Copies of this chain bind each other. A is one copy, B any other.
Amino acid sequence: MEKIRIGIYGYGNLGKGVETAIKNNPDMELVGVFTRRDPKTIKTINKETNVYGTDEVSNMKDKIDVMILCGGSATDLPVQTPEMASMFNVVDSFDNHANIPLHFNNVDKVAKENNKLALISCGWDPGLFSLNRALFEAVLPIGTNYVFYGRGLSQGHSDAVRRIKGVKKAVQYTVPYEESVRKVRNGEEPQFSSVREVMWRECFVVLDENADEKEVEKEIKEMPNYFEPYNTTVHFISEEEFDKDHVGMPHGGFVLRSGKTSNNNKQIAEFSLNLDSNPEFTSSVLVAYARAVYKLSKEGKNGAVTVLDIPVSYLTTKTKEELLKGTL
């Protein structure tokens, strides 16, 4: 069988996750990782993985079926996705919700001009959560959508705590309120007047020697936007405990629609994730969708698309007969 040839552009947590995920998908092979750093300094998870400089990418046009873009949404992807879509079919995880329409149009133009297919904003939110939001709204047109995140690690909030003077190491978990979750799952359709009723924030902090617990805690809790609008708990722990218990990147949450089909009948649909590793799961989703991009591009489809445009049958390695017999 001819394998689907994958490239990884950018080698942080997400790139490493894609490298790991490809090993779980025998119909795929990893051509290599592309990095802005000196390729010689990169230690890959699998020894045999090839590492190239990003300056070499234009020589690889015919050697890669789908390039998976693993850069950040703030500054990398707005530039990299259109650039790469001029040479390759691509998949990215652009997650700045407000800018998705702009990003879509930028990528669509280049991809169409070069007859490439570009899937943007893949992963779990945007991604699988988007898929379920759209599905739920369609099958339950009268109802209310809810999204809860956590319990999970927030990278942005952890960074914010780490920037405080006196903090050596820190991690922040977003935790939904069980009582709010219960009401939502029970179909009570609560209206939350602020985020404070939906989730709270839990920090685990290792202090520098001589740093003041009270001052750090105050600075965290009063930080505008990040912590001030929420109830926040701060635990000061030892470095040993931190290194033992707080190095994973768990996350999860759920999309739920609470609707009615007639006056008396409540109907609730929910899609939930409980993830030990957020980047590894996101990567695994990107890889499955790379398969779909490969198949659809073979059929001549080009331009920009999202997960909403892709039939689930394109994601699997199963034949139509296998799906009809075993999955449906």
Contacts and interface: CB of A to CB of B under 8 A. Distances in A.
B280 A324 contact: no
Contact of A100 (B138, B261, B307, B328): B328
A53 interface: no
Number of copies of this protein chain within its complex: 2
Residue in A121, A132, A280, A324 with the greatest tally of chain B CB atoms within 10 Å: A324
B261 A101 contact: no
B328 A97 contact: yes
Interface residues of A, number: 69
12 contacts: A24-B261, A100-B325, A134-B315, A135-B315, A137-B316, A138-B315, A267-B276, A269-B273, A270-B271, A308-B313, A308-B323, A311-B311
Interface stretch (A33-41, A171-179, A196-204, A283-291): A283-291
User: 7 tightest A-B contacts by CB?
Assistant: A138-B315, A261-B280, A265-B276, A265-B277, A308-B313, A138-B288, A268-B274
A7 interface: no
Interface of A: 17, 20-21, 24-25, 97, 100-101, 104, 121, 126, 128, 130-135, 137-142, 185, 187, 248, 252, 261-262, 264-277, 280-281, 283-285, 288, 291, 306-313, 315-318, 321, 323-325, 327-328
